[in-house]
Chains A and B, each alone.
Chain A
Amino acid sequence: MAKVTIDGIEIEVPDGTTILQAARMIGGDIVPPAMCYYSKLKTSGGYCRTCLVKVSKGSEKDPRPMPKPVASCRTTVMDGMEVLNITSPEVLEARAGVVEMLLLNHPLDCPVCDQAGECHLQDLAYEHGKAETRYEFPRREFEKIDIGDKVQLHMTRCIMCFRCVKVADQITDGRVHGVINRGDAAEISTYIEKAIDNDFSGNVIDVCPVGALTDKTFRFKSRVWYTKPVDAHRDCPTCSGKVRLWYKGEDVARVTARKDTYGEAEEWICNSCRFEHKKTSDWVIEGPTKVDRHSVISANHYENLRLLKASIDRQRASLPHGDKVDLGTGALNPNNEEK
């Protein structure tokens, strides 16, 4: 066990825990944002640099501070480590810089993007970004590519988090999905635009933090904030069958994996559940989803905007407090529990 202090809050965690995991155990506003780290994918994280934190004391044995900010998702805690996240102006400055870099070549086409409303980059930019850009050059653009008949890749929106590459490596079989070119010309690609053809390929949509990989069966059907999330399950021979249905009126607009507070899929689901079972009668409804932090919009973010802003300001100004703003959801409460 190792004792680690994050923004003045002490917690004891098992050896080998990363700073980010420890912060998630504490919870609240001190959790660093993560755009590329995904706890269910091995070797993910370390790329986006949004989770940078300052280690002001290395460990009990070696109390020297680390010279540079470190990626909290890939740095394991040491006993006696002291970490500064939102209490360090330096970290907030660095994070604002990273957000600016991530948005540099992002098209900001949120009004026509299917991910809008549940986009991690939107949340991140809202919390840490600046109101305007200082970038005055043309942004990079790519052609849209279909990888398979159900998934579309729109590289223009991609922030190169590598999550989908890890999914293709670790969840699906056959490594046909990777990165070509380098630098800011780097792009996610499949082997000569080959379709990813296996039962779990749809999960690349769920892991994508932005609108680069989208569900073609759901494209332009609805804004996500007009759909109501409901947890449901079915007997699936391939996967666990535990999914989230997104209702628009009486119809199931789309099916996704259940996601936790940090937007990570709890269990991977198969393509059959995701794309082919879009009738209420296919599913056993468990009840409305309690949406916590996942989306600024689904959590009535804009109504609670001033409240949250004040909370963040307060935390930045002084030590963090433990209060969590409970943001209710307006989720659908269907009466047909069994059907």
Chain B
Amino acid sequence: MGKKILLANDHIEGIRFLDTYRKHGGYASLEKALKSMTPEQIVEEVKTSGLRGRGGAGFPTGMKWSFLAKPEGVPRYVVCNADESEPGTFKDRYLMERIPHLLIEGMILSSYALGAKTSYIYIRGEYFYVARILEQAIDEAYAAGLLGKNILNSGFDLDLHVQIGAGAYICGEETALLESLEGKRGNPRIKPPFPAIAGLYGCPTVVNNVETIAAVVPIVNEGGAAYAAIGVGNSKGTKLISASGHINKPGVYEIELGVPVEEFIYSDEYCGGIRNGKKLKAVVAGGSSVPILPTELILNTAAGEPRLMSYESLGDGGFATGTMLGSGGFIVMDEDTSIVKNLYTFARFYHHESCGQCSPCREGTGWMEKILHKILHGHGTLADVDLLWDIQSKIEGKTICPLGEAAAWPVAAAIRHFRKEFEDFIRNGEHVNDVKHYYRLNNLTAPIN
């Protein structure tokens, strides 16, 4: 059984409420920090812990915090990015639903460490009921003197607000989130300046994922070194994985970074194997935007070593043979899955969510969707596969924000690893394994091309 840190108490009934949460050790780290630690010490602990951003990019949190500009007389903000919109990712929702006080405690600690007097939780519009839960928890915290003026008699003041988005994937991008939070249209800003210099209302701002901020609580409680002892290589601590797809036990799992992928998929502790005894075909390891990998590459690296659930191991081999841990949206596909259909779904999503600011993404995402739609409806040609490849290369790296890459990578990876399936689909129609129920088109008619 792997060590659980964030979700250690999630099975306890009533952990959502302050009384129960405190009974099980809640807000102990806050008391410890406010009474015996300086803000700098907390930042040091986070640096020592090796915690990396859990939202997807995996940037070291301690380093991000130390970049925060600290000009005199200018307020600083801590913003929690709870706009969890990546298809296949639902870990933050689980965390906020079950243990909202963990996030609030993390927010108070982070704000204390970074010197923020006002902090925000920006939550996606579809999570309105989660926002209610958070607001309820915040009210409890205010009533208990854990928020507001002079928290626990330490002289530290903090106001915490929950802001609900209007339902846009792009608002999960940190600068678009800040624009949205300011009440503007949620378009990503052009960087530099980075939010650490000029973020919310032009003031220095740190934007962190829900899970990252929650992880500050155990780091302060048990020390950065204890947190760093968990995990493998530069992937420290635990990570919440949202497992979905054709597995026996979909759900949110807290893993120690470094668990072998094979164990994660097949062991009863985690996913419990592929549903209906089917074979594994492919895995999208970190939310829809990371490259898809076929069975042989997800279980083992190109060098033949077993692949682990960690930033480095999943990234081994670059995008040619590797992928990314991303936000931990682990989507498993069995042998009956059509990669073409799956890719169309992803492409449609990115087309729908493109903000329309810069041209390659605005026009290119729609173009890719249309081509995939055409292939899916049997009108594709082999040249379309090459065209898709070319379009994605024209989008990747040419846009303001990472949405361009997020739209391009799945297309690139699907064609890189499953080109034959695309060609089969175009020549013969949908490929279906279960021949008892379906005939492949080429059994009946000559190939179209």
For residue A49, which residues in chain B have a CB less than 8 angstroms away from its CB?
Answer: 358-360, 398-399
Whether a CB of chain A sits under 8 angstroms from the CB of B127 is no
**Interface membership of chain A positions 20-33, coded 1 if the CB is closer than 8 angstroms to chain B and 0 otherwise:** 00000000000000
Interface of A is mostly: loop
Could you tell me if A46 and B370 are in contact, using CB atoms closer than 8 angstroms? no
**Smallest CB–CB gap between B413 and chain A, Å?**
19
**Interface membership of chain A positions 91-114, coded 1 if the CB is closer than 8 angstroms to chain B and 0 otherwise:** 000100110111011000000000
Q: How far is the CA of A49 from the CA of B362 in the complex (A)?
A: 12
Q: How far is the CA of A280 from the CA of B399 in the complex (A)?
A: 47
Could you tell me if A182 and B360 are in contact, using CB atoms closer than 8 angstroms? no
Could you tell me if B367 and A104 are in contact, using CB atoms closer than 8 angstroms? yes
For residue B394, which residues in chain A have a CB less than 8 angstroms away from its CB?
Answer: 94, 97-98, 100-101
For residue A249, which residues in chain B have a CB less than 8 angstroms away from its CB?
Answer: none
**Smallest CB–CB gap between B381 and chain A, Å?**
10
**Interface membership of chain A positions 48-77, coded 1 if the CB is closer than 8 angstroms to chain B and 0 otherwise:** 110010000000000000011101001000
Q: How far is the CA of A248 from the CA of B419 in the complex (A)?
A: 59
Q: Given A49-B359, A183-B356, A183-B362: A135 and B351 within 8 A (CB)?
A: no
Could you tell me if B190 and A105 are in contact, using CB atoms closer than 8 angstroms? no
Could you tell me if A183 and B351 are in contact, using CB atoms closer than 8 angstroms? yes
Could you tell me if A137 and B353 are in contact, using CB atoms closer than 8 angstroms? no
Whether a CB of chain B sits under 8 angstroms from the CB of A159 is yes
Whether a CB of chain B sits under 8 angstroms from the CB of A310 is no
**Interface membership of chain B positions 187-224, coded 1 if the CB is closer than 8 angstroms to chain A and 0 otherwise:** 00010000000000000000000000000000000000
A137-151 residues at the B interface, CB under 8 angstroms: 137
A101-134 residues at the B interface, CB under 8 angstroms: 101-102, 104-105, 134
**Interface membership of chain A positions 235-259, coded 1 if the CB is closer than 8 angstroms to chain B and 0 otherwise:** 0000000000000000000000000
Interface of B is mostly: helix
A200-236 residues at the B interface, CB under 8 angstroms: none
Q: How far is the CA of A52 from the CA of B395 in the complex (A)?
A: 12
For residue B367, which residues in chain A have a CB less than 8 angstroms away from its CB?
Answer: 101, 104, 135, 137
CB-contact partner of B356 in A97, A102, A179, under 8 A: A179
Nearest-neighbor residue (CB-CB) of A52 within chain B: B398
Q: Given A49-B399, A94-B394, A98-B398: A160 and B190 within 8 A (CB)?
A: no
Q: How far is the CA of A69 from the CA of B363 in the complex (A)?
A: 19
**Smallest CB–CB gap between A272 and chain B, Å?**
33
**Interface membership of chain B positions 362-375, coded 1 if the CB is closer than 8 angstroms to chain A and 0 otherwise:** 11111100100000
Whether a CB of chain A sits under 8 angstroms from the CB of B9 is no
Whether a CB of chain B sits under 8 angstroms from the CB of A192 is no
Could you tell me if A101 and B363 are in contact, using CB atoms closer than 8 angstroms? yes
**Interface membership of chain B positions 342-354, coded 1 if the CB is closer than 8 angstroms to chain A and 0 otherwise:** 0000000001111
Nearest-neighbor residue (CB-CB) of B405 within chain A: A68
Could you tell me if A47 and B357 are in contact, using CB atoms closer than 8 angstroms? yes
**Smallest CB–CB gap between B376 and chain A, Å?**
14
Whether a CB of chain A sits under 8 angstroms from the CB of B279 is no
Whether a CB of chain A sits under 8 angstroms from the CB of B232 is no
**Smallest CB–CB gap between A52 and chain B, Å?**
6
Whether a CB of chain A sits under 8 angstroms from the CB of B185 is yes
Number of B residues contacting the other chain (C-beta, 8 Å)?
28
Whether a CB of chain A sits under 8 angstroms from the CB of B226 is no
Could you tell me if B360 and A98 are in contact, using CB atoms closer than 8 angstroms? yes
For residue A94, which residues in chain B have a CB less than 8 angstroms away from its CB?
Answer: 394, 398
Whether a CB of chain A sits under 8 angstroms from the CB of B5 is no
**Smallest CB–CB gap between B298 and chain A, Å?**
26
For residue A52, which residues in chain B have a CB less than 8 angstroms away from its CB?
Answer: 398
For residue B366, which residues in chain A have a CB less than 8 angstroms away from its CB?
Answer: 183-184
For residue B351, which residues in chain A have a CB less than 8 angstroms away from its CB?
Answer: 183-184
Could you tell me if B370 and A101 are in contact, using CB atoms closer than 8 angstroms? no
Whether a CB of chain B sits under 8 angstroms from the CB of A318 is no
**Smallest CB–CB gap between B370 and chain A, Å?**
5
Nearest-neighbor residue (CB-CB) of B370 within chain A: A137
Could you tell me if B360 and A97 are in contact, using CB atoms closer than 8 angstroms? yes
A178-195 residues at the B interface, CB under 8 angstroms: 178-179, 181-186
Q: Given A46-B400, A69-B398, A74-B190: A101 and B360 within 8 A (CB)?
A: yes
Q: How far is the CA of A102 from the CA of B399 in the complex (A)?
A: 13
**Interface membership of chain A positions 158-190, coded 1 if the CB is closer than 8 angstroms to chain B and 0 otherwise:** 011010000000000000001101111110000
Nearest-neighbor residue (CB-CB) of A183 within chain B: B354
Whether a CB of chain A sits under 8 angstroms from the CB of B145 is no
For residue A46, which residues in chain B have a CB less than 8 angstroms away from its CB?
Answer: 190, 358, 400
Q: How far is the CA of A249 from the CA of B237 in the complex (A)?
A: 79
Q: When A and B form their complex, which 10 residue pairs have the shortest distance between CB atoms, in order from nearest?
A: A97-B394, A186-B356, A183-B354, A101-B363, A68-B397, A46-B190, A104-B363, A184-B366, A101-B359, A183-B356
11 contacts between A and B (CB under 8 A): A68-B397, A98-B359, A104-B367, A162-B357, A181-B356, A182-B170, A182-B354, A182-B356, A183-B362, A184-B354, A186-B362
Q: Other CB < 8 Å A-B pairs besides A68-B398, A183-B355, 11 of them?
A: A67-B397, A98-B359, A101-B367, A101-B394, A182-B355, A182-B356, A184-B354, A184-B362, A184-B366, A185-B356, A186-B362
